[in-house]
Amino acid sequence: MLYSEDLLGRQNADGGWSYFRGGSWTEPTCYALLALAASGTGHEAEVRRGMDWLKRCQRPDGGFAPRESVKESTWVTALPLLLPPRTQGFDRAKAEAWTLEQTGRESGWVYRLRSWMLGADSSTGSMSFDGWPWYPGAAAWVGPTALSVLALQKLVKRGGGPASSSDLNKRIDQGLNYLLARRCRDGGWNHGSTRALGYDSDSYPETTGLALLALHGLNNPNVNEGLARGEQHLAACQSSEGVSWLRLGLGAHGRAPLPSAAGRVPNQGEDGSNITETGTSRPAMHGGVMEIALARLADAAQVGKNSFLDV
Amino acid sequence: MNPKKPLEPTRRAWTKTAGVTLATVAAAGTLESCSQPSARVQAWAPVSIYRAATYSEELYDLVRRIIAEHALNVSGKRVMLKPNLVEFDSQTVINTNPKLVHAALEAFRAAGAADVRIAEGPGHRRVTLDLADASGYFATVPGFESHFTDLNLDETTKVDLVRPQSKLDSLYLPNTILGCDLLVSMPKLKTHHWAGATLSMKNLFGVVPGGVYGWPKNVLHWAGIPQCIADLHALFPKTFAIVDGIVGMEGNGPIQGTPRAVGVVVAGASPVSVDATCCRIMGLDPARIGYLQLTAGEQNLGEELIPQLAGLRLSR
């Protein structure tokens, strides 16, 4: 409830939400709406205003711009698709179709042929699967791939949409395989660059949590290693958003936060008016809309309502 | 040098020549002792190399000295300090040290700037305030949040590139940067596994908003890293540079390299000449750094063409 009040207090006059302050952006608006939906009924007027703002960010091609003033459709298109079906107001079918069309630039045959001719290492299969880019024309990365997979999984569960369930499942499998192929040697995930010029890259807490969330339900040794790494990240995570993504990802596999990490779960200030900096053993919260919304979503998931997975 | 065919930089650890160079720097010459540029070739803006062994309180005086010696008139101006924040780690040398940034904040205020802000848009980690916190900025800069703008999430304006060398013709850029009077690029002195070196010009990748282009800002990679560095430089040619070379990074930079105590701060009003000088300090030939070659064009980057204004002298 306190989270909801805090989110409602941060809604911009235009109906959307900013990351911290200032103009509205699609990403925090979607997470705020998801968090409000997770809080149950009520706030219909605020949700309607949020959806009205969101609708203005949908572009003629069906995709969503990260904010109204940006005239490009990007990865954020997956986020409105995660919202409950009862939140109407945008052309869901066109957004779904736009999402299905997107692939990483490295998926193109020209790039693959060039990589093969240059002797690129194909042992991990990391170039073999179609993920999703942040921005059209660029390579696929873990974040947008995980969110697009989650959006398409919801679409399959709901039924309908522009594509057959067979096509959707093929694309979901591509995304899941992309995520598995982009796991870092330490077990977790970063943005998707596992090696650079012969050096292994380290994973990040937030991307590990997000990838684990998208890989829910998979019983796979690679996923198990990812879960172990996720628990390690949670014990040391310095970011409240990172903690929330890890709670969501681990929880989706039935892993409750470790006792040592339980105290790291972000808390709200007692006055309920704002998120305050937590104790020394917990990551600081800076009062961002994403922090508040993700903490709310992680709390809800912990008691059985995972808004990323439930239809 | 053929500007149409940039050479690919060779990634390597700094050679011992860097240490030798800096040892001889201690026997500093003066501006008068520097070779003067040929009358037929235009000289670059001067560069200063200052000795700074540690991140001590002396940095506060040092940045004041930089402003004075470069005659920076910031009275009534809006100054934007752009450090390089990459990873959650206050113990390594990945990020620009907050002490130097705070020293710059104080020095530009003391010089009469109307507003001095710190701004960054990291390319890898999404939650910039958490990254800044873990990097020691909250502990070092009082009221850090009130001075800071996350460039990844700032208001943006679409800007056409000036004679682009990359495959891009425009970029959305943060209004905070577009509206400032003086952009001060404050990178860490580091090698970079793709660009050869990451210095004051590569640091401008941080002004490209992740909120539009994502994390990492992969659009820039596909459009050509050296070319995009050159394009951003063309948009912000009057950027002043203050490079944190007190402890730099060599090897597999910008993240996984190893610390290297260099003990210098390098500054100047021309990012090209500052970066070329930093390359020499690192034992890299600036003529082999693709982005420097692109920005220099027909103009020679020879050391004799980069005057040294004050402080230590880079030996030849």
Helices (H), A215-276: 221-236, 240-252, 259-262
Backbone angles phi, psi at A66, to 5 degrees: -65, -25
**pLDDT at residue B205 above 70?**
yes
Bridge partners of residue B83, in order along the sequence: B186
Look at B134 and A75 and tell me if their CB atoms are within 8 Å.
no
**pLDDT at residue B11 above 80?**
no
Q: Is A67 on the interface with B (CB under 8 A)?
A: yes
Q: How far is B139 from chain A (nearest CA, A)?
A: 13
Look at A74 and B256 and tell me if their CB atoms are within 8 Å.
no
Look at A283 and B252 and tell me if their CB atoms are within 8 Å.
no
Look at A191 and B193 and tell me if their CB atoms are within 8 Å.
no
- CA-nearest residue of chain A to B167? A137
pLDDT, residue A39, reads 86
Q: How far is B129 from chain A (nearest CA, A)?
A: 7
pLDDT, residue B251, reads 79
Q: Which among A22, A139, A191 has CB closest to B155?
A: A22
- CA-nearest residue of chain A to B172? A70
Q: Which among B88, B154, B158 has CB closest to A238?
A: B88
**pLDDT at residue B33 above 50?**
no
d(CA A261, CA A238): 12
Largest CA distance in chain B: 51
Look at B214 and A74 and tell me if their CB atoms are within 8 Å.
yes
What is the residue extent of each domain of chain A? 1-102
pLDDT, residue A230, reads 97
Residue with tokens 């947008």: A144
Query: What is the rounded average pLDDT for all residues in chain B?
Result: 85
d(CA A215, CA A176): 7
- List, run by run, the mean pLDDT of 10-residue segments along chain A (311 residues): 83 97 96 93 90 97 97 98 87 94 81 65 66 95 98 90 84 96 96 80 95 95 96 92 96 76 43 35 78 94 93 85
Q: Is A138 on the interface with B (CB under 8 A)?
A: yes
d(CA A280, CA B60): 30
pLDDT, residue B165, reads 96
**What's the CATH number of domain B16-311, 1.20.1740.10, 3.40.440.10, 3.40.50.11440, 1.10.3720.10?**
3.40.50.11440
Q: Is A105 on the interface with B (CB under 8 A)?
A: yes
Look at A133 and B158 and tell me if their CB atoms are within 8 Å.
no
Chain B residues touching residue A206 (CB < 8 angstroms)? 126-127
User: Do residues B231 and B161 touch, judged by C-beta distance below 8 A?
Assistant: yes
- CA-nearest residue of chain B to A20? B153
d(CA A55, CA A67): 11
Q: Which among B155, B211, B222 has CB closest to A138?
A: B222
Bridge partners of residue B184, in order along the sequence: B81, B240
For strand B258-268 and strand B240-250, is the pairing parallel, antiparallel, or unpaired?
antiparallel
**pLDDT at residue B82 above 50?**
yes
d(CA A253, CA A308): 13
- When pLDDT is averaged across residues B279-295 and rounded to a whole number, the result is 92
- CA-nearest residue of chain A to B152? A19
Rounded-to-10 torsion of CA B45, B49, B54, B55: -20
Q: ipTM score here?
A: 0.89
- CA-nearest residue of chain B to A66? B212
Q: Which among A71, A75, A288 has CB closest to B214?
A: A75
| DSSP label of A212 | H
